[in-house]
């Protein structure tokens, strides 16, 4: 069987376009629009800046670019990949995280360093996603492990940023629910199992995270601590779901997850700033 390599030329073009968009993110100044509404009987005011519009463009670029890369895979061309949109999730959320973090860089030096890290990470994620399109690929397990680690780190970053925004719970809970659902679907997806099963479990995990951040918004604590608690909940729920899919879920497994959860909470609360 010939070795299948990712289309690095296409990946480099995609990464370059995303980086150009991030740079324009900081140069172009677009007016801010104010939107007002009365959801649940209380006033809600949203300030939609031009930065958010640029971010949406970057997300669209990451999704379409990743899709075009995945569709060059032999399995996709043979019609064996039914849900290529799952491969968009992690590259787009990594792009979103980069777009949100880079403007917060304290100096030009850190911004340039962050830009280089973002370029490397986005390129690697898209290339590794290409590898995971074929479960029989010799590097599949290592590729999946790398994507899982990236998903957890991305979850920590986005959960922390969402909580730091200090917006109303209706906004932060919805954003956390959406982020958690998408990342859970990326972690749980298995081409050999029914898609709706994974979507159901991913939605349940996202709902738990959304409800949790709604409650945590009333707790005056460090943002990174809240991000860590949400990450811990995300890790436990996705881990239990994965064990269930693999038919390895039993009392011993649940006890192990419970111990990890208790130790994690103690560490986060004990050493929180």
| Domain termination site, one of 91, 106, 138 | 138
**Average pLDDT for runs of 10 along the chain of length 273:** 76 90 72 61 60 80 92 85 88 92 85 90 94 86 93 95 85 92 93 85 95 86 89 95 88 92 90 72
What is the predicted pLDDT for the residue at 20? 86
What is the predicted pLDDT for the residue at 48? 61
| Domain termination site, one of 113, 138, 163 | 138
pLDDT digits (tens, 9 = 90+) for 58-96: 899 999 999 999 998 888 888 888 788 899 999 999 999
Alpha-carbon separation of residue 16 from 12, 22, 29, 73, 230 (angstroms): 6, 10, 21, 21, 32
What is the predicted pLDDT for the residue at 215? 86
Running DSSP on this structure, what letter comes out for residue 93?
H
Contact between 66 and 91 (Cβ < 8 Å): yes
Q: Is residue 90 part of a domain?
A: yes
Tell me: do 171 and 128 sit in the same domain: no
Tell me: do 131 and 161 sit in the same domain: no
Q: Is residue 149 part of a domain?
A: no
Which of 205, 203, 217 lies closest to 173 in space, CA to CA? Answer: 217
pLDDT digits (tens, 9 = 90+) for 112-134: 898 899 999 999 999 999 988 88
Q: Is residue 146 part of a domain?
A: no
Burial class (CB in 10 A: 0-12, 13-18, 19+), 45: exposed
Tell me: do 158 and 134 sit in the same domain: no
Q: Is residue 112 part of a domain?
A: yes
Q: Is residue 252 part of a domain?
A: yes
What is the predicted pLDDT for the residue at 32? 64
Where in the sequence is the domain holding 10, given as residue range(s)? 1-138
What is the predicted pLDDT for the residue at 184? 96
What three-state secondary structure class fits 33? strand
What is the predicted pLDDT for the residue at 44? 61
Element (H, E) at 25: helix 8-27
d(CA 129, CA 69): 9
| Domain termination site, one of 90, 106, 138 | 138
What is the predicted pLDDT for the residue at 37? 61
Q: Is residue 163 part of a domain?
A: yes
């Amino acid at each position: 069987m010939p070795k299948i390599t990712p289309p690095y030329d296409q990946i480099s073009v995609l990464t370059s376009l995303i980086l150009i968009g991030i740079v324009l993110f900081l140069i172009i100044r677009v007016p801010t629009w104010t939107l007002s509404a009365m959801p649940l009987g209380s006033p809600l005011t949203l300030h939609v800046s031009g930065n958010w519009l640029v971010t949406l463009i970057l997300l669209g670029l990451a999704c379409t670019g990743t899709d075009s890369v995945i569709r060059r895979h032999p399995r996709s061309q043979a019609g064996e990949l039914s849900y290529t949109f799952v491969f968009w999730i992690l590259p787009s959320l990594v792009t979103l995280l980069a777009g949100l973090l880079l403007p917060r860089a304290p100096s030009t030096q850190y911004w340039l360093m962050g830009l280089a890290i973002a370029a490397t990470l986005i390129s690697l994620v898209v290339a590794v996603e290409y590898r995971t399109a074929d479960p029989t690929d010799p590097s599949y397990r290592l590729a999946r492990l790398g994507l899982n680690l990236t998903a957890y780190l991305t979850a920590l970053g986005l959960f922390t940023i969402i909580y730091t925004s200090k917006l109303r719970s209706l906004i932060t809970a919805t954003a956390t629910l959406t982020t958690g659902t998408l990342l859970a679907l990326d972690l749980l997806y298995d081409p050999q199992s029914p898609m709706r099963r994974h979507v159901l479990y991913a939605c349940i995990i996202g709902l738990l995270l959304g409800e949790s951040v709604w409650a945590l918004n009333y707790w005056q604590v460090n943002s990174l601590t809240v991000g860590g608690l949400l990450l811990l909940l995300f890790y436990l729920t996705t881990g239990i779901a994965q064990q269930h899919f693999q038919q390895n879920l039993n009392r011993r497994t649940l006890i192990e997850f419970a111990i990890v959860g208790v130790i994690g909470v103690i560490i986060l609360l004990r050493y929180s700033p």
